[in-house]
């Protein structure tokens, strides 16, 4: 997988601990990666973030409900140790190979293409403290919107979908090429939901991943790169002891 354009950003971790998400933040359970066997261990919970990130998530939810009283944030995934990152990258590669009828064990141009495409969405499970995967820092969160009844709002694609359909502006671009009618209105509705999520998160100081409508972070290298900050404030959790 190719290096990220933000990998050169220096990190000065501020030492904030990971904390469990409060009850005010809805969790999508059962956790999807635990369900497929990701190795968190008995004592590790994915529903944890740095305290400053949790505070901003609560701010984002308040902003969202000021604009859309019947909607809430719903957390899909948060902290992710390196072992889980490695497991899920391989899981995603195997899943895409199966979908495209590519042998995941046999080197080939087709397999290389799958690995490259998966790499647009899944960060390498780097053990180098200078290049931590975003979720390993406790600064990144994957989330969506739900109604007051707990029903997820349609976003046009599932979280973790591989391909252009997951790019934040995909349905806006698609709608521009469609004539007036139900399909165009559906695309615009999906785009509107994505933008409502992005607006709430931006209001609380988060940055959105360029390829993923669901991924936001505050304080990691990706955030620093997008916000033109000189350094990140969160590195991989656990390196400070």
28-79, pLDDT tens digit by residue? 999 999 999 999 987 689 999 999 999 999 999 999 999 999 999 999 999 9
Bond from prior residue into 30 cis (ω within 30 degrees of 0) = yes
Q: How far is CA 220 from CA 71, 226, 238, in A?
A: 27, 10, 15
Strand partners, 26: 74
1 confidence band (pLDDT: 50, 70, 90): low
2 confidence band (pLDDT: 50, 70, 90): low
Single out the catalytic residue among 16, 96, 167, 212.
212
| Residue carrying the six token digits 């902290």 | 79
239 confidence band (pLDDT: 50, 70, 90): low
CATH of 18-227, one of 3.20.20.120, 3.30.1380.10, 3.40.462.40, 3.40.50.300: 3.30.1380.10
Nearest to 234 by CA among 60, 85, 52: 52
Nearest to 119 by CA among 5, 204, 15: 5
- According to the model, what pLDDT value does residue 47 have? 97
Residue 212 is among the residues annotated as catalytic for this protein: yes
CB 187 within 8 A of CB 155: no
Specify the pairing of strand 26-27 against strand 71-77: parallel
Cβ neighbours of residue 63 under 8 Å, at least 6 residues apart?
Answer: 199, 200, 203, 204
pLDDT digits (tens, 9 = 90+) for 183-211: 999 999 999 999 999 999 999 999 999 99
pLDDT digits (tens, 9 = 90+) for 140-193: 999 999 999 999 999 999 999 999 999 999 999 999 999 999 999 999 999 999
- According to the model, what pLDDT value does residue 241 have? 34
Instruction: Kindly report the pTM of this predicted structure.
Output: 0.94
Q: What is the mean pLDDT of the chain?
A: 95
């Amino acid at each position: 997988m190719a290096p990220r354009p933000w990998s050169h950003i220096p990190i000065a971790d501020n030492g904030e601990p990971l904390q469990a998400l409060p009850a005010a933040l809805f969790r999508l359970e059962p956790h999807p990666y635990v369900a497929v066997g990701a190795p968190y261990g008995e004592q590790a919970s994915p529903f944890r973030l740095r305290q400053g990130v949790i505070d901003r998530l609560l701010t984002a939810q308040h902003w969202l409900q000021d604009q859309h009283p019947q909607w809430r944030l719903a957390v899909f995934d948060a902290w992710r140790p390196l072992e889980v990152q490695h497991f899920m990258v391989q899981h995603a590669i195997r899943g895409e190979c199966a979908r495209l009828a590519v042998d995941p064990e046999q080197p080939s141009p087709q397999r290389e293409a799958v690995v490259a495409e998966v790499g647009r969405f899944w960060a390498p499970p780097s053990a180098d403290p200078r290049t931590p995967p975003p979720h390993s820092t406790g600064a990144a969160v994957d989330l969506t919107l739900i109604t007051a009844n707990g029903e997820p709002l349609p976003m046009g694609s599932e979280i973790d979908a591989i391909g252009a359909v997951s790019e934040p502006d995909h349905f806006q671009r698609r709608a521009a090429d469609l004539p007036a009618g139900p399909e165009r209105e559906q695309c615009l509705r999906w785009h509107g939901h994505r933008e409502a999520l992005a607006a709430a998160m931006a209001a609380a100081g988060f940055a959105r991943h360029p390829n993923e409508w669901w991924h936001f972070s505050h304080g990691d290298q990706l955030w620093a790169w997008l916000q033109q900050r000189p350094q990140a404030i969160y590195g991989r959790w656990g390196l400070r002891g």
